[in-house]
Amino acid sequence: MAEIRGTTADEFEQVAEVFEANFEDHGEVGAGFAAYLDGEKVVDLTGGIADSSGNPYDSQVLQMVFSTTKGATAMCAHLLVERGELDLDTPVAQYWPEFATNDKADIPVRWVLSHRSGLIDTDEPLTLEQALDWDTVTTALAASTPAWTPGTAHGYHAITFGWLVGEIVRRVSGVGIGEFFAAEFADPLGLEFWIGLPDDQRSRVASLIPMGGTLAGEDPPPMMAAEEGDGSTNAPSHLIEMLETFLGPDNLAAKALTAPGGAFARASRCGTNRVCVRHRSLRPTV
C-alpha cells in the first residue's frame, strides 16, 4: 500500500480518500496534489514513489509537466503585450524577419498563440540531436511551409508552440524563454518551475513511465530501459503507430506529435531522465 503524506482541511478530507484510492484501485505510482481556497492551502498531499529505487514521491520531487508549459510560455508573450513591447496583430516577421518565407510573411502573433499558423512541423527532417538545439529548430521553422493556409483553421501545435512563441519572446526581450520566465515569474513568485532545468536539479525529477510500463518488474519500461541502450521503443512511437492505424499515414496529428522534423518518431531512446529532461527543457518544463 502506498504511503500517503500531507494534510487536508477538515471539509476536504474526502479529497484525501479519493487520492489514496487512486493508488489502491487504479495503479497510481507517485503523485502530488495541492488546492487553495481564497488564498489558503486546503489540500497538500503526496504519495507513492518517484523512481525504481523506491524514493518517496514527496514535496521535494520535481515532475515534468509537458504541455502545461504552453501556458507558461504564453504568459511571457502576454506580459510583453501588456508592456506594449509586443503587438498581437503585428506579423511575426516584424520581430523575427527570417520567418517571412513560404507564405508566412503575414502571419500575426495572434495566430501563433492560438494554434492557427499551420506551422505544426518543419519541412526539414531533423535528428534527435538537432531537435535538442534551439537555433537549429527555430531556423528550420522559419524556413518551413505551413501545413494549411494560416488563419483558416485551428490545429494543435503540439511540439512547435514552444519554439514559435519562445523565439518571438526572445526576439522582443533579448533573452531566452527560460531566462525570461525565471526573471518575470518563477523567481518573483518563488516557483520551482523551469523552462530549461538546471543540472543541479536533475536528481529531483521523477522517473517517467510509458504507457503500459511499470517501475518494477522483470522487464524495465522503455523510458528506463533506454539508459541501458537496449533499443526499447518509447511511448511516443507507440502513439504514432496507433494514430497511423486509425488516421492513415502522414496524418497531421502524427506529424504534429513527432515534430520537429520527425525527430521523436525516429528516436528509439528518447526516454532516459537525462535525455527527456533535456528534450523538454527546450520548450516544456520541469
Delimit the domains of the chain by residue range. Answer: 1-61, 68-187
Rounded to an integer, what distance in angstroms lies between the CA atom of residue 69 and that of residue 75?
10
Catalytic residue among 52, 53, 59, 67: 67
Tell me which residue of 157, 155, 154, 175 sits closest to 166, measured CA to CA.
175
Q: In which residue ranges of the chain is pLDDT below 70?
A: 210-250, 265-286
Assess contact for 253 and 239: CB atoms under 8 A. no
Tell me how far the alpha carbon of residue 53 is from its chain's centroid: 25
Looking at domain 68-187, its CATH superfamily turns out to be DD-peptidase/beta-lactamase superfamily (3.40.710.10)
Can you give the pLDDT at residue 219?
44
- Specify the pTM: 0.81
Can you give the pLDDT at residue 241?
67
Return the number of other C-beta atoms located less than 10 Å from residue 274's C-beta. 13
Can you give the pLDDT at residue 286?
35
Q: Is 67 a catalytic residue?
A: yes
